[in-house]
Amino acid sequence: MKKSESCSEECSKTWIQAGLLLAFSWLLGGLGLQSILENSNLATAFISHASWQWGVLHLFGGEITHDAEGHVMVLTSFLRCLVAIGLLQGFFVFLAALRLRFHVEKVASAVFRMAAWGMIPGVWGILWLVSLINQWGTGQDILQATLVFWVSMMLAGWLCEILAISTSSTSGPKEISGISSPLRPNWKQHLPVFIAVGIYVTCFTAMNWGLWFNLRLPHGDSAMYEEHLWNITHGKGFRSYLDQGLFWGEHIQFVHLLLIPLYWLWPSHLLLEFCESFALGIGAIPVYWMTYRSSQSQKTAVLVSIAYLLYFPLQFLDISIDLKTFRPISFGVPIVLFALDQLERKRFGSASALLLLSLSCKEDFAIIIFSIGLSLLAESIWQTIRERRKLKKTQAANDKIPLTKQKEMIFGAAFLVAGPVYLMFAMNLIRSFRSGVEVHYAGYFSKFGKSTGEIIWNMLTDPGLLLGELLTINTLVYLLALLVPLGFVPLLSGWRCLSCLPMFVLLCLNELSQSPMHHFHGPLLPLLFWALTTGVAQKNPLQNLMPRLKRQKPIEKPLPIDRRGWWVLSSALATSIWFTLTPFGIPFWDAGSNWNGAKLYFPDERAKMFDRIANLIPPTARVASTDFVHPRYTHFERSYDYSNYARKVSGGKVGVPEDTDYIVIDTRHPYSSIHSPDEVREYREHPEQWELLPDRTNGYFLVFKRRR
């Protein structure tokens, strides 16, 4: 009887604490939501400007006015904000209660934890208010730039509490080092991963193809790679007529040439898009293997592999923020992941072969080989030192290093040297194809110098300049964008987290790489997931902090491996709500968003009008065309770029080459600056040389033919 009364009192206490915390987080959440809605710069981190205006006016009873100085003023109803937060909290609490079958004590504990997660945006709101009152501009900039991650962490916590209910395994892994016996699962264990990969590949292939058919796919840095294959198979060399010269003068990048056997069967850019999505998708398989090996939990391995597919920086390699869809650098992600899996299996030969293959994806992977060598060498030395210390304590000291550790040290040292050596070789090779001109991406680090040598020297000898470029808000946002979707779990991996540092520093110093929504971060992703697959099974370093401070015996608790897997999956889900291009995110359905699915992936009037001129020009012609229609002419005799850039094929001048037969102008593409025939410089300056063909497209496309 006393025991039941004690349990009842404990449950009542928990419910009171949970209710108070939930009410407090509800009030703070309402204030935070009101602050966000009344500031368009904050609100548009989640939805488009048009949706924000509609929501303010219709859902939250607000109004948009101007003050005496003409500044925009937005007022919303605090009561409606409270109602919205209350409904959101109530929905998640109901889901948790439903999962717990309305068990009173368990629901009370779950509500308390969810209320604690709900405090995260409340803390942001307090800091925002303090920075406004004190007119702290830097604080406002930081809070504005990181707002979406505060909200994402709250949602991730709520999702984890719901998904992990009654499913967490309390048995720790048999081996925490992350390197154990090879995994030999049967095909049934892989089935959930195969299904997830199939969904990913189907979804992104459909979206990539939709961009192609809707004339939304640019030629530069996308369709130009398909032009390489077409020109090689037709005896024109490894080139794109986007500019003069072989492609070796841009990058040592040729992995896409391995697709030529398939390209003979289906010479289409659509093939390349499918192959890239497939390659990125199957990266989930080595992630599954490494996680299983580290955690000894199939469920955790499946969850982490699905999180890999939901990781929005990975998805932006498939379709970047500027809708560039195909880049050979993406093939390096699965190649390096399979190489890392082979390293964990102690198959150093096959791992080395795969890392060598990754260099064909781009010279940047030389930095990844260096980073893997650094991590492998440091980890091997550290483990050897620890083992010797243990042996000395047991009076069984042995000066011999195990053969496996010797191999790890040898290969680690080899990778450490081979990476920089190959990178210097590749840059010299690129210069030789550019007739000695500096590699073009030296301009990405212009604050450190003009040449590669000068840039490296200034980075090494001017720590003030280096730290000034690193310690910025952009670096913080970049770090959060990479780690928040993974729940910060890679930070638990120890030495493997070290392997991410060199590439991350270079990304932060790159003036064009402002976010992981382009492609520059591609080589870093395998290292992040290598660290993640180890970190997911590591002990929480804070678990025994308080007992140690109190000089008590450390608490020995089994690791909640599966719960950590749910946390990683929840983090990936929560962030993808705002950033993904797929139908799983808000931007896909937001009518005012630039990523709206109806606008991007379904043929509009412009695409339909192109069909009227698709067969107008003979394939033997040399065609100059604007960017988004340019991919449709890569199979012609020559396909030139029509733009305001001075091209070598045009003698270093702005204009089309002298051998151009046709000019095709897309007057309605996203960046079009030409809307009438008089605005076409060749037709305006030399009307005697060019004939404007009859309009068949209601002004959507202008076609000019050279008079011979």
Instruction: Kindly list the distances between the CA atom of residue 113 and the CA atoms of 120, 571, 675, in Å, as whole numbers in the listed order.
Output: 12, 16, 58
Identify the CA nearest to 595 among candidates 611, 577, 607: 577
Q: Are 319 and 580 spatial neighbours (Cβ–Cβ below 8 Å)?
A: no
**Least confident stretch, 174-188, 196-210, 389-403:** 174-188
Helix 284-295 / helix 524-535 crossing angle, nearest 10 deg: 30
- Provide the 10 A C-beta neighbour count for residue 645: 11
**Least confident stretch, 45-49, 55-59, 125-129, 317-321:** 55-59
Tell me how far apart the terminal alpha carbons of the chain are, to the nearest angstrom.
Answer: 105
Q: Are 618 and 706 spatial neighbours (Cβ–Cβ below 8 Å)?
A: no
Distance CA 54, CA 58 (A): 6
Task: Give, for 701, the enclosing helix (H) or strand (E).
Answer: strand 701-706
Predicted confidence (pLDDT) at residue 1 exceeds the cutoff of 50: no
Distance CA 659, CA 636 (A): 13
- Residue % of the chain over a pLDDT of 90: 46
Please give the average per-residue pLDDT across 634-655, as a whole number. Answer: 85
The pLDDT value given to residue 174: 43
Phi, psi of 564 (to 5 degrees): -65, -35
Rounded to 5°, the CA angle 304-485-87 comes to: 105
Distance CA 513, CA 320 (A): 12
**Taking all residues of the chain, what is their mean pLDDT, rounded to a whole number?**
85
The residues, ordered by sequence, that sit 6+ positions from 220 with a Cβ below 8 Å of its Cβ are 242, 324, 627, 641
Q: Are 240 and 326 spatial neighbours (Cβ–Cβ below 8 Å)?
A: no
Distance CA 470, CA 131 (A): 24
**Least confident stretch, 212-226, 255-269, 638-652, 689-703:** 638-652
Tell me whether residue 184 is exposed, middle or buried, using C-beta atoms within 10 angstroms of its C-beta: 0 to 12, 13 to 18, 19 or more.
exposed
Distance CA 502, CA 49 (A): 37
Per-residue pLDDT tens digits for 469-500: 888 899 999 999 999 999 999 999 888 888 99
Per-residue pLDDT tens digits for 163-172: 887 544 444 4
Predicted confidence (pLDDT) at residue 200 exceeds the cutoff of 90: yes
Phi, psi of 487 (to 5 degrees): 65, 25
Residue 489, both tokens: 């779990």
Q: Are 329 and 522 spatial neighbours (Cβ–Cβ below 8 Å)?
A: yes
Please give the average per-residue pLDDT across 5-31, as a whole number. Answer: 80
Distance CA 4, CA 562 (A): 31
3 state DSSP class of 601: coil
Distance CA 335, CA 594 (A): 32
Distance CA 267, CA 277 (A): 17
Residue 643, both tokens: 């733009």
Q: Per-domain residue ranges for the chain?
A: 2-166, 187-437+472-588, 605-706
Query: What is the DSSP secondary-structure string of 27-48?
Result: HHHHHHHHHHHT-HHHHTTTS-
Residue 585, both tokens: 């995110």
Phi, psi of 63 (to 5 degrees): -145, 150
Please give the average per-residue pLDDT across 300-311, as a whole number. Answer: 96
For CA atoms 365, 486, 315, 140, give the dihedral sign: negative
Distance CA 632, CA 497 (A): 44
Q: pLDDT tier at 426 (50, 70, 90 boundaries)?
A: confident
How many residues in the chain? 708
Q: Are 579 and 594 spatial neighbours (Cβ–Cβ below 8 Å)?
A: no
Per-residue pLDDT tens digits for 338-372: 999 999 999 999 999 999 999 999 999 999 999 99
Q: Are 77 and 63 spatial neighbours (Cβ–Cβ below 8 Å)?
A: no
Q: Are 304 and 534 spatial neighbours (Cβ–Cβ below 8 Å)?
A: no
Residue 73, both tokens: 């003023």
Per-residue pLDDT tens digits for 32-78: 888 888 888 898 889 998 888 888 778 887 777 766 665 666 777 88
Distance CA 344, CA 351 (A): 9
Residue 262, both tokens: 């398939």
pTM, two decimals, is: 0.91
Distance CA 673, CA 108 (A): 61
Q: Are 636 and 621 spatial neighbours (Cβ–Cβ below 8 Å)?
A: yes
Rounded to 5°, the CA angle 426-431-433 comes to: 100
Query: What is the DSSP secondary-structure string of 384-427?
Result: HHHHHHHHHHTT----PPPHHHHHHHHHHHHHHHHHHHHHHHHH
Q: pLDDT tier at 509 (50, 70, 90 boundaries)?
A: confident
Tell me whether residue 420 is exposed, middle or buried, using C-beta atoms within 10 angstroms of its C-beta: 0 to 12, 13 to 18, 19 or more.
middle
Q: Are 622 and 660 spatial neighbours (Cβ–Cβ below 8 Å)?
A: yes
Instruction: Kindly list the distances between the CA atom of residue 135 and the CA atoms of 41, 63, 127, in Å, as whole numbers in the listed order.
Output: 17, 25, 12
DSSP 237: -
Q: Are 535 and 491 spatial neighbours (Cβ–Cβ below 8 Å)?
A: yes
Instruction: Kindly list the distances between the CA atom of residue 166 and the CA atoms of 4, 96, 121, 163, 543, in Å, as whole numbers in the listed order.
Output: 23, 11, 27, 9, 22
Tell me whether residue 493 is exposed, middle or buried, using C-beta atoms within 10 angstroms of its C-beta: 0 to 12, 13 to 18, 19 or more.
buried
Identify the CA nearest to 479 among candidates 518, 454, 505, 457: 505
Please give the single-letter amino acid code of residue 169: S
Phi, psi of 170 (to 5 degrees): -105, 5
Q: pLDDT tier at 417 (50, 70, 90 boundaries)?
A: very high
Instruction: Kindly list the distances between the CA atom of residue 239 and the CA atoms of 63, 220, 224, 402, 632, in Å, as whole numbers in the listed order.
Output: 56, 13, 9, 50, 17
DSSP 223: I
Distance CA 322, CA 511 (A): 17
Identify the CA nearest to 156 among candidates 481, 486, 559, 478: 486
Q: pLDDT tier at 21 (50, 70, 90 boundaries)?
A: confident
The pLDDT value given to residue 184: 56
Instruction: Kindly list the distances between the CA atom of residue 640 and the CA atoms of 19, 244, 448, 453, 649, in Å, as whole numbers in the listed order.
Output: 67, 10, 34, 34, 8
